[in-house]
Amino acid sequence: MDLKRKIDNFMWYVLFGTDVETAEEDAKTEEGKKRIIKNLAQKAYRDLSRTLSYTYSIEKLKEMKRGKKGEENAEENIRMKENAESFIATKERFIEEVICAITDEILSLPEVLKLDRFNEWHDEICEVIGRFNDWHDKTCKDIQNTAVKMMDGETYLFSKKDKKGEDAKGEIAFSYGQAQKWLNMTLKNVLILSKLNDELKLIDYPIENIVQCLHVPVDSLIMQGAAKELEIKVTSKPWSQWERCEYVEFQDKIRKKFPLDNRELELVIEGRTYKYRCPIEWEFDAWIRMSKKIVKPS
């Protein structure tokens, strides 16, 4: 194996949780494809996890497992340790459940979108995008519902303080904005991996036929990019607190900036001209441009 291949393997493993050889072999079977997409969904979860409000933080769980000093606290310590271990197990079960659900949903996309009917770019692309949006909305709702209903005994997995400082459950504790981030970043990772290696057929249809449909993963950088580069009015509310209506409105505003007649959106940014066919193409560049404005060389 030459050095270039070793470097590729290292980069792939760091970014996607698998190396080139393993991915190429896995992509030959349905179970292997599932393993790859599950790795990508796990990576997407890590991007999202810092915004999640679990009822018990990692530090709190460590404290519960350590217990209090003194023999008089022995029984309480046993109970706290059991509660901590039970909560951790429930948390792991939740993550695995959502990752498996996202994986199955992505593998079902060609059938859901009926892509075999759309081999050329034509007016019916609107119908494909509509079906994708319906699929996307249902998947995000399923993720959110799984999160807000997940309990460890009588303890909700997620909770946070509302405006009155009281514990809030349900959609406030795990938002639609957080669900979209998990799904959209997984889809983006599938696109990246598919483009890096043409041999990887993770879904049973050319990835190009789905690119036009993809939503932009929303975070603070993309919110800034949409405002500055696409001249879209964006709410000041953090994306991790967005409700469905706010997310749909944002994606619709972005989508309307892109022609659906195979023309490209042309943007002039800092004296340079950029051309984009669809929202996700713009997102790749915009995210980097906004990042550079935050992290400037010293």
The answer on pLDDT for 263 being more than 90 is: no
Contacts (Cβ under 8 Å, ≥6 apart) of 84 = 56, 61, 64, 65
193 and 151 within one domain: yes
The answer on pLDDT for 229 being more than 70 is: yes
173 and 140 within one domain: yes
Q: What is the pTM of this model?
A: 0.90
Contacts (Cβ under 8 Å, ≥6 apart) of 141 = 176, 179, 244
Calculate what percentage of the chain has a pLDDT beyond 90: 59
Model pLDDT for residues 44-53, shown as the tens digit of each residue: 999 999 999 8
251 and 191 within one domain: no
Q: How many domains does the chain have?
A: 2
Alpha helices in 152-265 (DSSP H): 176-196, 208-211, 220-229, 244-255
139 and 39 within one domain: yes
Secondary structure class of 273 (helix, strand, coil): strand
223 and 107 within one domain: no
User: Which of 174, 207, 240 represents a domain boundary (last residue)?
Assistant: 207
- pLDDT, greater one: 173 or 100: 100
Tokens of 116: 């075999």
78 and 9 within one domain: yes
State the average pLDDT for the chain: 87
192 and 221 within one domain: no
Read off the pLDDT band of 87 (50, 70, 90). very high
234 and 197 within one domain: no
The answer on pLDDT for 260 being more than 80 is: no
Secondary structure class of 72 (helix, strand, coil): helix
286 and 161 within one domain: no
252 and 179 within one domain: no
Residue 120 is predicted with a pLDDT of 47
Model pLDDT for residues 109-153, shown as the tens digit of each residue: 878 876 555 444 444 677 788 889 999 999 999 999 999 888 878
User: Which of 176, 207, 238 represents a domain boundary (last residue)?
Assistant: 207
User: Which of 207, 235, 256 represents a domain boundary (last residue)?
Assistant: 207
Residue 295 is predicted with a pLDDT of 57
The answer on pLDDT for 167 being more than 70 is: no
163 and 51 within one domain: yes
Residue 121 is predicted with a pLDDT of 42
Model pLDDT for residues 174-189, shown as the tens digit of each residue: 999 999 999 999 999 9
297 and 166 within one domain: no
Domain limits at 149? 3-207
Structure letter (DSSP) for residue 53: -
